[in-house]
Structure 1
């Protein structure tokens, strides 16, 4: 029997088996939402039904699959290309090959999201539409490989080629071509989602305990080394994702196990030198386990050396300090009753003491609130004004206009006055951490007013915020990037996330009343204050572990010391800090709006450039770009490199239309 026929028989058996035991991997993609449904309050909710009914006779079918797999030797120990010459020292582009059967797998969107957030160059191969050829991996006449790592969305690349017909998107020849390249060049492979015991490679996994969509996972000793940025005793909740609980073969290293002891991720070394990591749970970009694990997978895949970087950020901006905000009336269920609240000196002193304690946490060192202020509300003899002057050096300050005038229809001259008067107050109060380059317009107004934007630019403003909840015009296209203003491209609009800690809430009673007024119909019941804080802190945690640099919006009313100690702001941030520190050991970076804008512009410049980086193992990296650009290189420890999370990050300055060499043996 020919290898091609064995290939077809094995594929049919495997896909039939997978279908009856549960569903094939790409069928699971139909059960798992491609993206977590986003509720009105931004909280991700995942739902899917699970069935796991094994028909009679499945054991004998499984045995037949295993026997045929041994005969075919699909994950064979030798390959002809590797035998022709070892190329592990040959150069290769610092780029990932992302292979998916289709673009519909949730694990595909999860992979794309992670690669974009880290900034790693990648090429996508949709295997049901494109052929994998040796020339794609190593161009004819070249010794330079095109990829430094291979990322598969699913283990068998299964897809429904026609109604009721499931097959692998790769032929046997394509699988063998891929394995040959990996073996010859020493390129690692990672599989985001596989069925244990599947064709064409079981990845060292054995089917054991069916599937689940709600379980907890823990790291093994080896897993704690691979995912070193996670706390070693972390419990990772896997919810809403089809997960196979497996066993593993002897000689295979488990990295992740369920709390019941079943294997969920493994590292396998092959006799021909190949290495792979494979996981048994599905993913999408909004799931917590995806956000926690994907960096470790990609970092391992590249052996910790890649173009790109990742850091964790938390920056907050409570608008309107110095002036009052309307208040929600829990009795009349309205904020139009004339009630309002303006922070007092006691409130400011209390939040100052809270910030000192919050920033004393080793992972949150240097955390500072950035206050968008309206100077009209300041006054001599006022307790808040006096507290601000006494403690201003412990915070950042940002222009929010003089009296909160909306800028939708203001003239050039009116806008200038709003900006300049606040600048003068900052000077008079000797604000230490203040930049005239940053502005937050009242209620994010005026961004489409040419006169207002020209006035802002002429007065030195280079960074404003937008509200991505208002639509695509205010949401950046790529992670950690901004949007040049349509009227003044020299002003960068920074997408700032709104929160569900309401601008008109200053106490738990007000916050809880308004939240339930808005969302009781969604949840089907009233939520407690603690539950609301829990949901909100979950969302902030997601931003952080996705390495999102965008700031968060609050309001001065949220800083009211409602019991002389706590505030809505401190409650939700304390809960966020607690959750983060239980999961992750990376330091959290806190930036001003100007610093965020500069980093976004750096990322946008890099995205706009055509950069080619080539790694010569153990020797050097060469980088060519059509534009002058700074390229972050994680894992490179040259002079001037920074250290973050136990890894070096070197910013390589590359001139336009030239190749620059960066030696690695210095």
Structure 2
């Protein structure tokens, strides 16, 4: 070991000289240029992949080197740094490694990284490493622990909350979704005596009163490492909670890209009634596939009391629903009830409490004309075999008529937003492989620029004539259920095998659904299985910097009001996890569409090499193409032309800025730090992290059956 260490020291000293910076002292003025780009060195494991996914979602540029590829670039002094106009340049502001040293013994690549990090004060993230002295920690055998941490409640330390994890309230619960699958594995240990090691996230060491580090900062030999000793994938809640802080630590809070925690809920079919699931027939009377001659529709429709409950709930939770309405639902109800519609009257009286979206007048199907003489239905055809499409005038009338009805009722509308019934007009496989060609024309006629789509069919945004789609997540709370028992009965039909009395859909489509091990109890299945699962899925979207809205139906706010336990579960869990400086962001549909659209333009510009950003001292300079807005995250106190930059969120300033060439930001004095730390101290031991294992459940997300 001593001979290895000496070799690395000599190599490091020589490399520091190669970078043009004198060993043993800080870099001379002027300050070097630090490019705002992260180097991710991957071994194909889930931990480095998760960090790369976080950077990608936020829009933070990074370069990835795959150690498993024979044609990968070699990491040396020239790869890491050079000079621009005579000024020293560090090409990467941070380095992410699979562990504290993934290279072979006496590796010149590790020596180059050590020298680079030392010379330019570049932080290193050890994405998942074994607890050992080379990482500032005791071996776990010395009073620590190695093993499963499924279901463990970790905690952010005071230092973590005062530092990069200040957006969290404290608890960091580890998932335990399956009793039969190992989902998490960790090495819990305490810092080495005399080591400059600060734990940021800890968990109890089993059988002791001590806390072991899961995430901590190790300072040594002029270098800084974030040492992570648990394994994770990009979908697990524990990583999603800590991802923001990992990026903040590695970048010092100065980076391109930004992120928020978003949650929006659309309620479809307001004013209309949704046909009820029939537990005897195992279908929904009124639907085209419920052909039993005894099938009689039994609509579910909200009441004025349900409106009052929704208003009170919103005020208590500080949350706003987006109501997608069908005006004909109220008109038809008045015709059948001597002109009375107490539901619509109450909604109109409380209209300012909600956001409203045009959902077409009658909820008509706006794609091909449906031939319902067969099950499943098919598109009707003309004599020449071509598809019969709903006409341009009929589509436009559905949109315009509903707008006029909403305006006459005083609803506060944005005329450019639209949700078609069943997302119709857009392609629907297998029956309708193309959009209705008349849809785009009708959208032009009616001024629609934002069109809802179903994320389960089309997760990406696209153009439909003048409109850009906004994909929505369908929540697995069924439109045809107003009572919990109905929801569970239909859930059992979908998610149990034929032998268990179900439809067998789960057997026929194993790639997309999972059979329940046994049918859920209709009395307990909803609160004990469906609610926790749907809460988990929705919260995963919230924690993933994903602004896409979720959608339910007005029936779910009626009768048993089955949507509220799921929504309360999301909001209550969020409140226990995040500090007040990190509120949920609740956007309306068009703002969500704009967010997604700007992200797409930014990603394209970054991928095409059209973005350049760097820091010199306390000045950040960003260059981007004309017309492409810039997302950036900076410390509190950052200014642009003397004014505060961005918006406050999670203890930082962030947001989108209209393109300007160049965009110049001034960092606060508190963010200014030496850009180089002298010394060529010892490098980590060159053997890969021993014993680091990846449990089965980290390869892909684990959730209970029936997801």
TM-score w.r.t. length of structure 1: 0.79
Match of 2:213 among 263, 279, 283: 263
How far 1:356 sits from its partner (Å)?
1.7
Equivalence for 1:607: 603
Equivalence for 2:135: 202
The answer to whether 1:144 aligns with 2:89 is: yes
Distance 1:249 1:72, change over 3 A: farther
Distance 1:171 1:543, change over 3 A: farther
Question: Unaligned stretches of 5+ in structure 2?
Answer: 177-181, 206-210, 286-294, 332-338, 369-389, 427-434, 498-514, 670-707
Equivalence for 2:266: 317
Equivalence for 1:468: 455
Distance 1:494 1:651, change over 3 A: closer
Equivalence for 2:647: 642
How far 1:74 sits from its partner (Å)?
6.8
Query: Following the alignment from structure 1 to structure 2, what is the Cα–Cα distance between the partners of residues 211 and 74?
Result: 34
Query: Following the alignment from structure 2 to structure 1, what is the Cα–Cα distance between the partners of residues 202 and 312?
Result: 42
CA contact (8 A) 1:241 1:281 kept: yes
Match of 2:526 among 512, 524, 529: 529
The answer to whether 1:211 aligns with 2:147 is: yes
| More contact order relative to length (CA 8 Å, sep ≥ 6) | 2
Distance 1:650 1:420, change over 3 A: closer
Distance 1:266 1:75, change over 3 A: farther
CA contact (8 A) 2:146 2:185 kept: no
Query: Following the alignment from structure 1 to structure 2, what is the Cα–Cα distance between the partners of residues 173 and 603?
Result: 38
For residues 254-403 of structure 1, the aligned pairs below 5 Å read: 254-260=199-205, 261-272=211-222, 274-336=223-285, 337=295, 338-359=297-318, 367-379=319-331, 380-403=339-362
CA contact (8 A) 1:91 1:615 kept: yes
How far 1:519 sits from its partner (Å)?
2.1
Question: Unaligned stretches of 5+ in structure 1?
Answer: 1-65, 158-167, 360-366, 477-481
Match of 1:453 among 430, 434, 440: 440
CA contact (8 A) 1:154 1:194 kept: yes
CA contact (8 A) 2:36 2:615 kept: yes
Equivalence for 1:43: none
Query: Following the alignment from structure 1 to structure 2, what is the Cα–Cα distance between the partners of residues 418 and 340?
Result: 22
Match of 1:228 among 166, 170, 190: 166
How far 1:203 sits from its partner (Å)?
4.7
SS in 2 for 1:207: coil
CA contact (8 A) 2:358 2:419 kept: yes
Query: Following the alignment from structure 2 to structure 1, what is the Cα–Cα distance between the partners of residues 345 and 266?
Result: 21
How far 1:632 sits from its partner (Å)?
2.2
Query: Following the alignment from structure 2 to structure 1, what is the Cα–Cα distance between the partners of residues 105 and 364?
Result: 61
CA contact (8 A) 1:92 1:616 kept: yes
After superposition, give the CA deviation of every residue in 1:341-383 in whole Å (9 maximum; x if it has no partner): 1222222222222222221xxxxxxx21111111111245201
Query: Following the alignment from structure 1 to structure 2, what is the Cα–Cα distance between the partners of residues 169 and 537?
Result: 45
How far 1:247 sits from its partner (Å)?
3.3
SS in 1 for 2:53: helix
The answer to whether 1:509 aligns with 2:490 is: no
Match of 1:414 among 394, 408, 413: 394
SS in 2 for 1:313: coil
CA contact (8 A) 2:12 2:111 kept: no
Query: Following the alignment from structure 1 to structure 2, what is the Cα–Cα distance between the partners of residues 437 and 80?
Result: 59
After superposition, give the CA deviation of every residue in 1:6-58 in whole Å (9 maximum; x if it has no partner): xxxxxxxxxxxxxxxxxxxxxxxxxxxxxxxxxxxxxxxxxxxxxxxxxxxxx
CA contact (8 A) 2:359 2:421 kept: yes
Cα RMSD after superposing both structures: 2.4
SS in 2 for 1:461: coil
Equivalence for 2:54: 114
Distance 1:662 1:219, change over 3 A: closer
CA contact (8 A) 1:114 1:285 kept: yes
CA contact (8 A) 2:173 2:238 kept: no
TM-score w.r.t. length of structure 2: 0.75
Equivalence for 2:415: 436
Equivalence for 1:45: none
Query: Following the alignment from structure 1 to structure 2, what is the Cα–Cα distance between the partners of residues 170 and 557?
Result: 64
CA contact (8 A) 1:203 1:276 kept: no
SS in 2 for 1:177: helix
After superposition, give the CA deviation of every residue in 1:204-225 in whole Å (9 maximum; x if it has no partner): 4533323225233222222233
Distance 1:339 1:385, change over 3 A: same
How far 1:197 sits from its partner (Å)?
2.5
Distance 1:555 1:320, change over 3 A: same
